[in-house]
Amino acid sequence: MNELELRYNKNMIKAGINYVVTILFLGSCFLPLKASAQKVTPAKPMTQADSMMVKQLFFSAIREKTIENSKRAGEMFERILQADPTNDASMFELANLKRQQNDYAGARPLLEKAVALSPDNEWYWVALADDYEKTNAIDKLENVFNQLIRINPDKPDYYFDKANAYLILKRYDDALKVYDQLEKINGPSDDILASRQKIYLKQGKIDKAAAELEKAIVDNPGQMRYYLLLAEIYNSNGLNDKALKVLLQAEKQDNNNGMVHLALADVYRDKKNNDACFNELMLAFANPDVSIDQKVNIISGYFPKFPEPNAKASALELSRLLTVAHPADAKAYAIYGDMLLQNTKLKEAKAAYKKSIQLNEQVYIVHEQLVRVELSENDIDATIKDGENALSLFPNQGWMNYMVGVAWAQKKEYKKALNYATNATSLEIQDKDLLSLSFSLLGDCYHSVKDNKSSDEAYDKALSYNPDNAFTLNNYAYYLSLRSEQLDKAAQMSARSNELQPNTASFEDTYAWVLFKQKKYADAKVWMLKALAHDKTNSAAQYEHYGDILFYLGSIDEAVENWKKAKSNGGQSPVLDRKINEKKYSE
């Protein structure tokens, strides 16, 4: 039962009220029944010896309960009730043990007997109310709360709980009478006002709900919460104009209230006045009294609209205002960094992430965002510096190990790169994308240090996690072709990489070179022409490869011409000079 929340301190029930248990026990509680839950047949009088035995057994049971030996304590309380069926303290304790084990059905008859024997014991009734709540016996709660109000008429929680029970039973008028009764005792309160609003709205009595709030506004014109509640009632029921009127009235009273500006933004959005909506949002975001978490939730509402440039720009401006209103909050700069990134303002994004880390270095994802941006910009030194700093705080993060490994590989520090890539493969056993990339990085590094066996094993492992990793397929195929090994496998992998990423010059060049090694020169020429057509960098390697293919097709002059193009575009190998000078292919 979710709607009914009993307001008493349930920890007192769990504790067993040990400090009064001796009095409860010694009293035997044979009072006249004022409001019993169950009729109890009087037991035969106990002998003095029986009475002493029961007392000793009771305190032993309490001792066992205190050391959390619940099973032993329960057995002792049951023995007491066999000897003394009217021992309400033992009923209460045994019922609590059952309730701790979620056996509410078993606890109920014990509690019903306990309140019958001791109808003035408040905690027995409290426990019974909780039991009825847990077993959804809502219709039985009315009498329980009547008894609790009788015992403790000055406790407002019991009135609210009784009204909530009526609310669940849809006895709305009875619930309203309870609130009237409580108001006569304690005077008006916001809790009573809000509770009445809930009932009026369930009854569809919008006018009544509004009238009470309008009266509260007249009595307390400086209390913004009444304006906000009234505007929410109007707005949620399609009465936007009335909501707007109330909020404009509130704005005149307190122009700096951020919640009023947020509410105005909601109304303007519903009225399709986007400019006015955004203006109110900016006023709210500039107000430090509005919680940053609430603002972040609003910004996240822009995410689904991010294909629209206006949505990105709006989210960016609101996130900037976060840093103005909350200059000491790391979260503000982290969100600002994310929005700058969405708007491809990479330099500014890096600065925002660094500021966020400066304010709070204990949020890993901000470190990762910063390093990702640095690596995407090929800022290798910054990637290593900030990545290794992050790993000093979060050493077990697979992605960070991978990115730092990539950076060291870019600097041709392959042993360092191998260490980080190996760390990544050992840390992220669930992330198949990261595992594929990390093993692929291992393959690249092992190739660079001429450990071909380890390189091939790493590439095979990478492809086992992601058979369609196009870059792994391309690199693996190219390195096999350089060694003239497993050329059929290389051809299959290279062909697949071109299916996955068509019109990629480097992939087409690889496939042409594999075909060349297979002595399929005509096919190799077709793919090399594709590579040259799609290449934007005038790659020396591609001109050299094209010359090699033309030579074997018998076009010697064209071959030499392309070797010369390779040299003019940066090709510097002695083999290339030999090809030009001797006008023939050379390994």
What are the domain boundaries of the chain?
Answer: 219-290
For residue 401, what pLDDT band results from cuts at 50, 70 and 90?
Answer: very high
Mean pLDDT, residues 517-523 taken together: 96
What pLDDT shows up at residue 20?
33
What is the H or E stretch that residue 222 is in?
none
On whether the CB atoms of residues 334 and 349 are closer than 8 A, the answer is no
> In which residue are the tokens 């400086």 written?
222
33's CB contacts (< 8 A; 6+ apart) are 39, 116, 119
- CA–CA dist 254, 513 (Å, integer): 74
Cβ-contact 117, 40 below 8 angstroms? yes
How high is the pLDDT of residue 43?
A: 52
Query: What is the rounded distance in angstroms from the CA atom of residue 109 to the CA atom of residue 305?
Result: 58
Write the single-letter amino acid at 236: S
- pLDDT at position 61 is 80
pLDDT band at residue 538 using 50, 70 and 90 as cut-offs: confident
Which of the 8 DSSP states describes residue 34? S
pLDDT digits (tens, 9 = 90+) for 97-151: 999 999 999 999 999 999 999 999 999 999 999 999 999 999 999 999 999 999 9
What pLDDT is recorded for position 58? 86
CB hemisphere CA count around 584 (13 angstroms) = 1
CB atoms near residue 334 (< 10 Å): 24
Residue 196: predicted pLDDT = 85
Cα(85)–Cα(575) distance, integer angstroms:
105
- Highest mean pLDDT, choosing among 35-44, 159-168, 503-512, 566-575: 503-512
pLDDT at 41 over 70: no
Label residue 16 left, alpha or beta by phi (over 0 means left) and psi (-120 to 50 means alpha).
left
Helical (H) or strand (E) element with 418: helix 414-427
Class of domain 219-290: mainly alpha
Query: Residues 401, 405, 408, 410: what is their CA dihedral angle, to the nearest 10 degrees?
Result: -140
The whole-angstrom separation of Cα 22 and Cα 14 is 17
Evaluate the CA torsion angle 411, 417, 421, 424 in order and state its sign.
negative
Q: How confident is the model at residue 213 (pLDDT cuts 50, 70, 90)?
A: confident
Mean residue pLDDT of the chain comes to 88
CB 549 within 8 A of CB 516: yes
What distance in Å separates the CA atoms of residue 306 and residue 491, rounded to the nearest whole number? 41
Buried b (16+ CB within 10 A) or exposed e, 551-575: beeeeeeebbebbbbbbeeebeeee
The single residue listed with the structure tokens 């009632």 is: 233
Pair of tokens at residue 381: 């030194």
| Residue carrying structure tokens 């190998």 | 573
- Mean of the pLDDT values across residues 412-441? 94
Contact predicate 445/421, CB 8 Å: yes
Q: Give the CA dihedral 279, 284, 286, 290, nearest 10 degrees.
A: -170
Calculate the alpha carbon distances from 338 to 288, 302, 363, 397 in Å: 21, 13, 14, 20
Report CA torsion sign: 199, 201, 204, 208: positive
